[in-house]
A and B are shown apart, each in its own frame.
Chain A
Amino acid sequence: MATLAQQLVNGLVLGALIGLIALGYTMVYGIVQLINFAHGEVFMAGAFGAHFAYLRLLPAGTPWYLALPVMTGAAVAVSVAVAVAMERWAYRPLRGAHKLAPLITALGVSILLQEVVRVFYPGATAPLAFPRAFAGGSLTLGPVLVLWTGVLAVVVAPLLATGLHLYVERSRLGRAMRATAQDPDTARLMGIDPDRVVLATFVIGAVLAGAGAVLYGVHYTQIDTAIGFQNGIFAFTAAVLGGIGSIRGAMLGALCIGLVKSLAGQYAWGGAQYDYVWVFVLLILVLMFRPQGFLGRPEGVRA
């Protein structure tokens, strides 16, 4: 019972973190129908940006409550810079090209970013230690131990998602986004600049990924260049699971992925070595029997 509760909590935390990445996937796909494989790398770059800020910009021994905002700022700055650069230089020139071209480009960007960090960031060929916030303290709920960083992730992620939801629903730019997602040509006729909307979408996704990267780092206290790809795939799975284009769906899907991964690692056949596999089995089943995901609308005929 205690193990089950502990795994549920672990899954919840992982789900919250993946959800922050999934939001970026779902927003970009909703607007430009592009699987931005490189979004995971935006997350990874953010984590390294935060690591850089901690090691190089902050004096040694800075207390975590001062370091955390600075690291978050650095992570967001790096993520946004990377996302803007990739949108501007890699994806924008391909708009209207053959439909596979952007996807291949996304794969290329993903590989490029991973390798650039691995080769040029000092020490990135091996996993790097990340500082832990809250001095490693934890919340004890009966038999279950929750690190405060986990609590932070579970609190912050839904808050950010709600904020994003409200922003997309209420703000002028959010309305432009929804219009562009629905029909780019008509949106253009209504005076919306699609380039600006797409760029804004990438920026918002990157901000969330940067925030997620810091939360991820302080919780798992270790980062490497592969975290982007692996969590990116989880996040994409989550976005599809929840119904791509839907913000609530992405969070819901991420929650499912987190729970399935931690529970399957504990209870399913094969143990922790196969937890990853069960996530994908779930993905395949969902796509086959409910391709629109939990909350997505069924996809009509679309060229």
Chain B
Amino acid sequence: MTSTDTGSTTGVRGPVTRARRSARSVLSVRSVRRVPGAVLVLAGALSPWASVVLPGGAYPDLATLHLFDAPHLVTGFRLHLVLLGLAALLPRAARPAGAGVLIIAFVHTAFLAALGAVSFGGPVALAGGALLVWQGRREPAPRWPLPGRAVVWPALAAAFAGLLWLVSATLTAGGQSRATNPHGGAEFLAFLGFAVALLGILSAYGVLAWLSALAERHRTFSVAVLLGCAMLLPLTGAGTGYWMTVASTIGVYAATAIGLNIVVGLAGLLDLGYVAFLGIGAFTAANLAHTVPFPVAALAGAVAAGLLGVVVGAPTLRVRGDYLAIVTLAFGEIFFRAAQNDLGGLTGGANSIPGIPPITLFGQAFDRPVGALPAGFLYYALTVLMVAGAMAVLANLKHSRTGRAWLAISADEDVARAMGVHTGRAKILAFLVGATLAGLAGAVFAHKLGTVGYESFDFSESVTLLAAVILGGMGTVPGAVVGASLLFVLPEKLREFSDYRLMLFGLALILIMRLRPKGLVSS
């Protein structure tokens, strides 16, 4: 609105307006406006947060109950608030920083209120965050020129190191055991708010776009560095057996989500029973686990899932759109019922299949520690490689002839056919590739857990996978990984809300569709 207004007046007094505007930004009336919000945030961060000493030790950091006792020693979420409050003084950072402050302050204030403690710092920080969001302007991010090679490699390496830190810190935020830290869930959510704010600020300054353009141009280098960073995760604070197990579970679901991304994101075929492919891979590998080595079992799982994929994909030749979604839902339910009733004695029914041995290669069992590395590192490394492989498959397919055919089909199937795309073959191929990936992930899943039961493959899992793809951004390469990480790490982190877990999940689906229907990583 404002842009059209100035556009219509430029003819009359354009130069004057422009001069006045630039003068205003130099005199920084606007930046002065940001100050009260930032000050409120800082004051909130440094004020005492809880009115009483809470059970389960001082909450969450010792400094919580003290007023200005050692401002330079603030830690935890208060440190994050201080950092965000300072960052809010930057012209473009006010909005994202304010949003982060709102999340952090809201989570902790609500948590304290639930514990029956009055919070002093909370409302102040909330007010500051709201002020920042209200006054911050949404401006298009600046574009930066791409630099030469001398700058590129260090820049990318630093970016990926930062990413590694962020992943490790997010994973370990709030601690692993609810017994030692009863406030873990709140701390984790608050940290998520901080991470969101950081990414938001970087994106507001065009840094994220710049980095992704760089990574796109220097693909091989960035893939290598990213892989290296992923392999370094065990050396960070997340390097315990517990976090390795959590991370490799996320990896399994991420690989599955990438497979689904091929079907839904690229080819536009909505699949509501996708977890069946993971299931068939898992059950196949579980049945073969005692007779053949892992690579053979994994291959068998992938092939079985691929075949099922073709069967499920066959109706796409005749059925479209929402109806196809229902057909896939039907296949998923049939698989679930068959597994539940122990069809052919292959799934163990209600008893599930117990005692699946861990993967063993070259005499090394994957659930044992290697050298100084924690137990579970090998599974983690395996899933990282699997996810990387799946991402490579997705990226290559996306830019291939087949990928273009899929995109054409998802845009308009009739036009695609008219342009000479073999739509039937392409659609079945999408199901075949996606299902094979899921089957492979299923084989790893079975060995990693040591037991496979039908409950792991019910409709809500399919919905979660689909939500992961959509949350991450359909058809994007990193999107499915981001989405799967979020959706499968949240329940792990929010155990004390386990009763409300699904409820919040449903609410989150609605809100995401409302606020960011294109996903977090939109292409």
Contact = CB atoms under 8 A, between A and B. Distances in A.
A137 interface: no
B509 interface: yes
B507 interface: yes
16 contacts: A98-B517, A101-B517, A105-B513, A107-B463, A107-B466, A109-B510, A111-B509, A112-B510, A113-B506, A114-B506, A119-B503, A277-B334, A284-B315, A289-B318, A291-B320, A303-B412
B510 A291 contact: no
A108 B513 contact: yes
Interface in B467-515: 467, 470, 474, 499-500, 502-503, 505-510, 513-514
B333 A276 contact: yes
Nearest to A275: B337
A90 B460 CA distance: 20
Contacts of B340: 273
B323 A240 contact: yes
A121 interface: no
Interface in A2-20: none
A180 to B, nearest CB: 18
Interface in A109-130: 109-116, 119
Interface size class on chain A is: 35 or more
A93 interface: yes
B331 interface: yes
A276 to B, nearest CB: 6
B62 interface: no
Given A116-B503, A119-B500, A276-B333, A240 B326 contact: yes
Contact of B500 (A100, A115, A280): A115
Nearest to A279: B330
B334 A115 contact: no
Given A104-B466, A287-B326, A280 B334 contact: yes
Nearest to B459: A229
Contacts of A284: 315, 327, 330-331
A111 B506 CA distance: 5
A274 B337 contact: yes
A33 interface: yes
A160 interface: no
Given A102-B513, A277-B337, A280-B331, 4 more contacts: A93-B514, A94-B517, A109-B510, A291-B319
A113 B318 CA distance: 34
A270 B342 CA distance: 11
A274 to B, nearest CB: 6
A243 to B, nearest CB: 12
Contacts of B503: 111-112, 115-116, 119
Nearest to A108: B509
A115 B341 CA distance: 26
A221 B372 CA distance: 61
Interface in B319-348: 319-320, 322-323, 325-327, 329-331, 333-334, 337-338, 340-341
Interface in B270-309: 270
Contacts of B337: 273-274, 276-277
B325 A35 contact: yes
A283 interface: yes
B334 A94 contact: no
Q: Chain B binding site: helix, strand, loop or mixed by DSSP? A: helix
Nearest to B470: A104
A301 B338 CA distance: 36
B18 to A, nearest CB: 37
A107 B509 CA distance: 8
A284 to B, nearest CB: 5
B28 to A, nearest CB: 37
A35 B326 CA distance: 9
Contacts of B326: 35, 236-237, 240, 283, 287
B518 interface: yes
Given A273-B341, A277-B338, A291-B318, A90 B500 contact: no
A233 interface: yes
A141 interface: no
A280 B473 CA distance: 31
A189 interface: no
A105 B327 CA distance: 19
A84 B448 CA distance: 46
Contacts of B466: 104, 107
Contacts of A1: none
A48 B34 CA distance: 50
Interface in B438-482: 459-460, 463, 466-467, 470, 474
B414 interface: yes
B246 to A, nearest CB: 23
A103 interface: yes
Given A237-B326, A273-B337, A111 B319 contact: no
B502 A111 contact: yes
A97 interface: yes
Interface in A221-246: 229, 233, 236-237, 240
Contacts of B338: 277
B460 A111 contact: yes
Contact of B322 (A33, A98, A283): A33
Contacts of B514: 90, 93-94, 105
A60 interface: no
Nearest to A293: B323
B509 A35 contact: no
B508 A115 contact: no
A103 B330 CA distance: 16
A109 B507 CA distance: 7
Most central of A98, A115, A119, A276 by chain B CB within 10 Å: A115
A166 to B, nearest CB: 28
A288 interface: yes
B333 A233 contact: yes
Interface string A199-210: 000000000000
